[in-house]
Structure 1
Amino acid sequence: MNGTDSKVIVALDFPQQQQALDLVERLDPSLCRLKVGKEMFTRLGPQFVEQLSNRGYDIFLDLKFHDIPNTVAAACDAAADLGVWMINLHASGGRRMMMAARERLEQRSERPLLVAVTILTSLGVEDIAEVGYQGEPAENVLRLAKLTDESGLDGVVCSPREASEIRRQLGQDFLLVTPGVRPSSAAKDDQRRVMTPADAMVAGSSYLVVGRPITAADDPIQALQAINAEVSESLA
């Protein structure tokens, strides 16, 4: 874990390593953190994560573990061996699974942050109904966030639209990692529940996951600096 004060986590969602490395070369580890998800980790493996960390970046390893408690605990421990800054699992895996992962990580002298995914930001009312959830996405997000807090994790991944209510009910120390953040000039792409960076921070977000508005920009560092400036202004 390397350390930066930036609230922006840039999502490296590329089909090839060189595309990701070309972008990383244009960014700056003092200005952002990086997220490595399932596609890149599956293609490139742990060595790619270590390579990014060696370049000075804090890494959010976004693999959304969901399995029996012992398996998830072991997977989180293996992820921590890579020196990552943050890892996640699915809150829907339940209390015992989350507690097992947290307890395994607490055995380490230094551990990554552990957060839980609530309801994916790509899911709307009809989508969650199809998989058996009742009510609005926000109701389910809050229920799962409370379960995560009770299980002793550091925070949750949620839409920025749910951030203010979670922050109100669970306090200032509970981390809220929010994808679905788009500058007002950017397209929504496949995210349903979105918000601008400034609005997300005002709502209570701790960290913003930003993908295509930075990774697909003609000048990624300029786009990143603009978002950082927007975040700083909202915090001031």
Structure 2
Amino acid sequence: MTARDRLIVGLDIPTVQEAERIVSALGEDVLFYKIGYQLVFAGGLEFARELAQDGKKVFLDMKLLDIDNTIASGVENIVKMGMSMLTLHAYPKAMRAAVAAANGSDLCLLGVTVLTSMDQPDLAEAGYELDPRHLVLKRAAQARTAGMGGIVCSAEESAAVRAVVGPDMAIVTPGIRPAGSDKGDQKRVMTPGDAIRAGSSHLVVGRPIVRAEDPRAAARAILDEMNAVR
């Protein structure tokens, strides 16, 4: 894969009009976009369909979790939308239902391990006894067993996760911040080059690009950093 195949720009912005402006500004430099809750609830699903029809790749970040039949029905319809990636929380039953529903399609199902905004105190407050690293590795192994296409984790865990899932599964890492940029609400972050070296296959970059004075220049700088990794 080229850097262009591996960089996913997170369209975590409030309106489709803003998203259209960003996509237009980035032009052919960016192939892959992530659409999550904020944009989905502002008309983003139709926008996602349009992006896919225009030849872009779309990572639909819905973090699904429900009973098996509901998961399967949702995944079947998302396949029809032409999406490239879809997230689920990495619970074994949900993952198995999704894998069965997506069988035969090109949809890459991603298991969400531990959100990059969460650290040990956050997990303890939520009732988890494992620390973030051990919970990530447990869920990565469960995603592999379920037949998922990849997982989502912090770049800090990429190397350890790669050892668990092997060379073929995607490792998608949010919380990517170019050197010197603001961490925002992320607690476990890494630079683009370091994330690739650690074993990440795809990088999700949102605010450092979409909030930049020149989004295209910001994207190109990140692509250059990714291309420089050997």
Same fold (TM > 0.5): yes
SS at 2:181's partner residue? coil
Residues 225 and 45 of structure 1: CA distance in aligned 2, closer, same or farther (over 3 Å): closer
Tell me the residue number matched to 1:23: 22
- CA distance in structure 1 between the aligned counterparts of 2:216 and 2:14, rounded to whole angstroms: 21
- CA distance in structure 2 between the aligned counterparts of 1:171 and 1:181, rounded to whole angstroms: 22
Tell me the residue number matched to 1:82: 81
Tell me the residue number matched to 2:11: 12
Give the conservation status (yes or no) of the 8 Å contact 1:11–1:35.
yes
SS at 2:228's partner residue? helix
Tell me the residue number matched to 1:113: 108
SS at 1:70's partner residue? helix
Q: Which moved more, 1:195-204 or 1:47-56?
A: 47-56
- CA distance in structure 2 between the aligned counterparts of 1:24 and 1:58, rounded to whole angstroms: 12
Tell me the residue number matched to 2:186: 191
Tell me the residue number matched to 2:197: 202
Q: How does 1:81-160 map to 2 (within 5 A)?
A: 81-91=80-90, 94-106=91-103, 108=104, 110-160=105-155
SS at 1:135's partner residue? coil
State the superposition RMSD in angstroms.
Answer: 1.5
- CA distance in structure 2 between the aligned counterparts of 1:61 and 1:44, rounded to whole angstroms: 13
Shift of 1:54: 2.7
- CA distance in structure 2 between the aligned counterparts of 1:225 and 1:45, rounded to whole angstroms: 25
- CA distance in structure 2 between the aligned counterparts of 1:58 and 1:192, rounded to whole angstroms: 28
- CA distance in structure 1 between the aligned counterparts of 2:16 and 2:93, rounded to whole angstroms: 36
Shift of 1:169: 2.5
Tell me the residue number matched to 2:68: 69
Q: Which moved more, 1:223-232 or 1:50-59?
A: 50-59
Residues 5 and 22 of structure 1: CA distance in aligned 2, closer, same or farther (over 3 Å): closer
Give the conservation status (yes or no) of the 8 Å contact 1:29–1:58.
no
Q: Does 1:171 align with 2:166?
A: yes
SS at 1:228's partner residue? helix
- CA distance in structure 1 between the aligned counterparts of 2:213 and 2:28, rounded to whole angstroms: 19
> 1:25 is matched by which residue type in structure 2?
S
Q: What are structure 2's unaligned runs of at least 5 residues?
A: none
> 1:16 is matched by which residue type in structure 2?
T
Give the conservation status (yes or no) of the 8 Å contact 1:4–1:30.
no
Shift of 1:45: 4.5
Q: What are structure 1's unaligned runs of at least 5 residues?
A: none
SS at 1:28's partner residue? helix
Give the conservation status (yes or no) of the 8 Å contact 1:70–1:97.
no
Give the conservation status (yes or no) of the 8 Å contact 2:3–2:226.
no
- CA distance in structure 1 between the aligned counterparts of 2:133 and 2:92, rounded to whole angstroms: 20
Shift of 1:5: 4.6
Q: Deviations over 1:82-122 (max 9, x none)?
A: 1011111000xx3222111101110x4x3311111000000
- Percentage of matched positions with identical amino acids: 39
- CA distance in structure 2 between the aligned counterparts of 1:169 and 1:116, rounded to whole angstroms: 14
Tell me the residue number matched to 1:181: 176
- CA distance in structure 1 between the aligned counterparts of 2:31 and 2:154, rounded to whole angstroms: 20
Q: Which moved more, 1:38-47 or 1:173-182?
A: 38-47
SS at 2:88's partner residue? strand
Q: TM-score, normalised by structure 2?
A: 0.95
- CA distance in structure 2 between the aligned counterparts of 1:219 and 1:56, rounded to whole angstroms: 24
